[in-house]
Amino acid sequence: MSAKLEALSHNLQKHLGDRVKSLKIALGEVTIEVDAADYLSVMQTLRDEPELAFEELIDLCGIDYSVYANVPREGKRFAAVSHLLSIARNWRLRVRCFAPDDDFPSLPSVSSIWNSVNWFEREAFDLFGIVFPGHEDLRRILTDYGFVGHPFRKDFPISGYVEMRYDPEQQRVTYQPVTIEPREVTPRIVREATYGDVENA
Amino acid sequence: MPELRNFTLNFGPQHPAAHGVLRMVLELDGEVVMRADPHIGLLHRATEKLAENKTWIQSLPYMDRLDYVSMMCNEHAYCMAVEKLLQIEVPLRAQYIRVMFDEITRILNHLLWVGCHGLDVGAMTMVLYAFREREDLVDAYEAVSGARMHAAYYRPGGVYRDLPDSLPQYQESKWKSAAQIKPFNEARSGSLLDFLDDFVSRFPKLLDEYETLLTDNRIWKQRLVNVGIVSPERALQRGFSGPMLRGSGIAWDLRKKQPYEVYDRLDFDIPVGVTGDSYDRYLVRMEEMRQSNRIVKQCIDWLRQNPGPVMSDNHKVAPPDREAMKSNMEELIHHFKLCTEGIHVPEGEAYAAVEHPKGEFGIYLMSDGANKPYRLKIRAPGYVHLSAMDEMVRGHMLADVVTIIGSQDVVFGEIDR
């Protein structure tokens, strides 16, 4: 572990204390997990504390954990993961926050802390259905006008539910149920940890 | 007195200056923009969802189609993220080849940008000059990968193959005689490195030519200077990166600050703007082309002297060569497993970012140990820049909207994903 990551994790523990539920360092990256109740205050500290100085929010994305590792999920289903960058200190941080309610995932919006999150939160709402109270303008962004559903959820089929075509009789574009079936060429496989291990066979 | 209302104008999605399929709802008071609401997603293909249903290697060609004017840089971020999860080393020669093609890609991107931006703003000739030079560089793409745009050349573990020793030549035809094609074939008679060496020796002079056309041009300055000013504080708040951030005066470049591959061994400078207007961003990009040219030259010199492997020899990741595969049982098994099931990436998550011509292009990958990604998130620089559109155009004239779209250098392949 490099000195820089050590300094960062030390500063995180110093300024966030109990608000950090878990802190993990892997592959040269620091990940912290926070409770939804602390989310906003943690983000505020991360930006304003000069020893952390995360001036820039690089990315925020939703994640649906429902079929992780091909086994049914026991914990919470939806999370928002943000990537922060400090220009002054030249380090990065990943913050994960699980939405408390699976049926109505909701997390406070951080758009007042970093304006750049605006479209990222709209995207997470559009694709995963995570609601961000406090966001000024939470509309769909990438999908079609009038789209139904949240396409990046794992239970949403890859071919979707409706397709669009031009109807020559009505002389307009119409929607109809999809006529294609999803086809999987290479199945998704999660191997056990010892698979192909010659020594422990 | 009649009631006065603001005029709402639909800009795009088929407007030539919208750089693709941008639909923007502009609220105008006379000719002054009061509010801009970009509507994106007209090119949404759900690349990230498709990647969840494809093996790690199958989603690589999708990366080319994100930002379709800087193809190899997108692949680079994806390969780096996969390599980080796999914790494999890339051979040094492959790293140099990647850096060289990243910089070629940067020149390609900036040339297209200066051409089209010129076209939008009224400098019609620029695009012709820019495409003349792009032609040579896409030929280099073709020589290594067989494709002029969507190369799929970088692979997790290295690059697909080593640089070729010869290039395709122009052929004599009933339209062009042997004497006519001779000058075209002169630079192409040697290896790819000779061809690129010839290009980098010519290119700085050509850049000077472009600058004589634009930099002190009165019309160009009238259209660009003080248009779309972004202060450094606002640039950080809006998550800017790349030339947009450097144009605002913040010397931040991932190639210098968080060097990846061999950038720490190369000598180059980072141009920085002062006022943060469109003109500064133009100057920054022009200087970046000069610096890229320097980097390409250094890579050529290194690559000439140091032959070696260009792909990892870890056959759990990279396929073995054909000869070994056909004569050796072990290699045959590896080949079969790789081609049917694909790479198995250990459980974990990784974020890898490259200094893309447009800014920080990041790939966030999450693996649950399967032969397909669990989640792929593409952090596209243009997406963030375009989200600042409203703030940048407020109070400007309608014609300046075109300048600002151009100076943001947006491409909808990456924004809509």
Whole-number Cα distances in Å, B22 to A124, B29, B38, B52, B405:
20, 22, 7, 27, 10
Q: What is the 3-state secondary structure (H, E, C) of chain B?
A: CCCCCCEEEEECCCCHHHCCCCEEEEEEECCEEEEEEEECCCCCCCHHHHHHCCCCCCCHHHHHCCCCCCHHHHHHHHHHHHHHHHCCCCCHHHHHHHHHHHHHHHHHHHHHHHHHHHHHHCCCCHHHHHHHHHHHHHHHHHHHHCCCCCCCCEECCEECCCCCCCCCCCCCCCCCCHHHHHHHHHCCCCCHHHHHHHHHHHHHHHHHHHHHHHCCCHHHHHHHCCCCCCCHHHHHHCCCCCHHHHHCCCCCCHHHHCCCCCHHHCCCCCCCCCCCCHHHHHHHHHHHHHHHHHHHHHHHHHHHHCCCCCECCCCCCCCCCHHHHHHCHHHHHHHHHHHHCCCCCCCEEEEEEEEECCEEEEEEEEECCECCCCEEEEECHHHHHHHCHHHHHCCCEHHHHHHHHHHHCCCHHHHHC
Per-residue confidence (pLDDT) for residue B123, from 0 to 100: 85
User: The tokens of B365 are what?
Assistant: 């990958």
Residue B38 phi, psi (nearest 5): -70, 130
Segment A20-33 shows an average pLDDT of: 88
Instruction: Name which residue leads in pLDDT, B154 or B5.
Output: B154
Instruction: Spell out which chain A residues touch chain B, with contact meaning CB-CB distance below 8 angstroms.
Output: 26-29, 31, 55-59, 61, 63-64, 68-70, 81, 83, 87, 90, 92, 94, 114-119, 140-144, 151-152, 158, 184, 186, 188-191
Per-residue confidence (pLDDT) for residue B1, from 0 to 100: 66
Q: Is the pLDDT at A36 greater than 70, yes or no? A: yes
Q: What is the pLDDT of residues B59-97, one digit of tens each?
A: 999 999 988 888 999 999 999 999 999 889 899 999 999
Query: Terminal CA-to-CA distance of chain A, rounded, Å?
Result: 32
Segment B24-48 shows an average pLDDT of: 89
Are the beta carbons of A5 and A30 closer than 8 angstroms?
yes
- How far is the C-alpha of A108 from the C-alpha of A94, rounded, in Å? 17
Q: Is the pLDDT at B368 greater than 90, yes or no? A: no
Per-residue confidence (pLDDT) for residue B100, from 0 to 100: 93
Q: What is the pLDDT of residues A58-97, one digit of tens each?
A: 999 999 988 888 788 888 889 999 999 998 888 899 999 9
- The amino acid occupying position B243 is P
| ipTM (interface pTM) | 0.89
Number of H helices, E strands in chain A: 3, 7
Q: What is the pLDDT of residues B267-282, one digit of tens each?
A: 999 999 998 899 999 9
Strand order in the sheet with A29-34: A20-26, A29-34, A91-98, A78-86, A56-64
Per-residue confidence (pLDDT) for residue A1, from 0 to 100: 56
Cβ-based contacts of B366 with chain A (< 8 Å):
63
Beta-carbon separation of A55 and B383 below 8 A: no
**pTM score, two decimals?**
0.91
Instruction: Name which residue leads in pLDDT, B91 or A189.
Output: B91
Residue A23 phi, psi (nearest 5): -130, 125
Per-residue confidence (pLDDT) for residue A76, from 0 to 100: 87
Which residues have C-beta within 8 Å of that of residue B307, sequence separation ≥ 6?
Answer: B93
In which region does residue B33 sit, left (phi positive, over 0), alpha (psi from -120 to 50) or beta (all else)? beta
Beta bridge partners of A86: A91
Per-residue confidence (pLDDT) for residue A73, from 0 to 100: 80
CB burial of residue B190 (10 Å; 0-12, 13-18, 19+): middle
Length of chain A: 201
Beta-carbon separation of B44 and A27 below 8 A: no
Cβ-based contacts of B410 with chain A (< 8 Å):
none
Are the beta carbons of A25 and A9 closer than 8 angstroms?
yes
Per-residue confidence (pLDDT) for residue B296, from 0 to 100: 93
Q: What is the pLDDT of residues B111-141, one digit of tens each?
A: 999 998 988 888 888 889 999 889 889 999 9
Q: What is the pLDDT of residues B386-404, one digit of tens each?
A: 999 999 998 899 889 889 9
Confidence at A31, pLDDT banded by 50, 70, 90: very high
Segment B284-308 shows an average pLDDT of: 92
Nearest 5°: the CA angle B384, B390, B395 is 145
Which chain B residue shows the shortest CA-CA distance from A189? B370
Count Cβ neighbours within 10 Å for each residue of B209-221 and write b for 16 or more, e otherwise: ebeebbeebeebe
User: The tokens of B49 are what?
Assistant: 């969802």
- How far is the C-alpha of B150 from the C-alpha of A83, rounded, in Å? 29
Mean per-residue pLDDT over chain B, rounded: 89
- The amino acid occupying position A180 is I
- How far is the C-alpha of A142 from the C-alpha of A149, rounded, in Å? 13
Per-residue confidence (pLDDT) for residue A199, from 0 to 100: 64
Beta-carbon separation of B368 and A69 below 8 A: yes
Cβ-based contacts of B239 with chain A (< 8 Å):
56-58, 114-117
Which chain B residue shows the shortest CA-CA distance from A139? B39
Q: Is the pLDDT at B337 greater than 60, yes or no? A: yes
Beta-carbon separation of B236 and A184 below 8 A: no
Q: How many CB pairs under 8 A join A and B?
A: 118
Residue A34's SS3 state is strand
Whole-number Cα distances in Å, A84 to A25, B201, B278, B280:
15, 40, 27, 27
Per-residue confidence (pLDDT) for residue B14, from 0 to 100: 78
Question: What percent of chain A is modeled with pLDDT above 90?
Answer: 35
Q: Is the pLDDT at A124 greater than 80, yes or no? A: yes
Find the range with the poorest average confidence among B16-25, B27-36, B244-253, B333-342. Answer: B16-25
Cβ-based contacts of A26 with chain B (< 8 Å):
348-349
Per-residue confidence (pLDDT) for residue B315, from 0 to 100: 83
How far is A105 from chain B, CA to nearest CA, in Å?
A: 18
Are the beta carbons of B135 and B68 closer than 8 angstroms?
no
Residue A72's SS3 state is coil
Q: Is the pLDDT at B250 greater than 60, yes or no? A: yes
Which chain A residue shows the shortest CA-CA distance from B86? A27
Q: Is the pLDDT at B293 greater than 60, yes or no? A: yes
Segment B358-377 shows an average pLDDT of: 91
Residue A94's SS3 state is strand
Per-residue confidence (pLDDT) for residue A67, from 0 to 100: 85
Per-residue confidence (pLDDT) for residue A3, from 0 to 100: 85
Give B319's Cβ-side CA count (13 Å radius): 18
Confidence at B294, pLDDT banded by 50, 70, 90: very high
To the nearest 10 degrees (0 to 180), the angle between helices A39-48 and A3-16 is 120
Are the beta carbons of A83 and B351 closer than 8 angstroms?
yes
Q: Is the pLDDT at B351 greater than 90, yes or no? A: yes
Nearest 5°: the CA angle B34, B40, B46 is 160
Q: What is the DSSP letter of A69?
A: G
Mean per-residue pLDDT over chain A, rounded: 87
How far is A60 from chain B, CA to nearest CA, in Å?
A: 9
- How far is the C-alpha of B239 from the C-alpha of B258, rounded, in Å? 17
Per-residue confidence (pLDDT) for residue A200, from 0 to 100: 56
- How far is the C-alpha of B127 from the C-alpha of B16, rounded, in Å? 14
User: The tokens of B71 are what?
Assistant: 């193809």
Nearest 5°: the CA angle B74, B76, B77 is 70
Cβ-based contacts of B87 with chain A (< 8 Å):
27
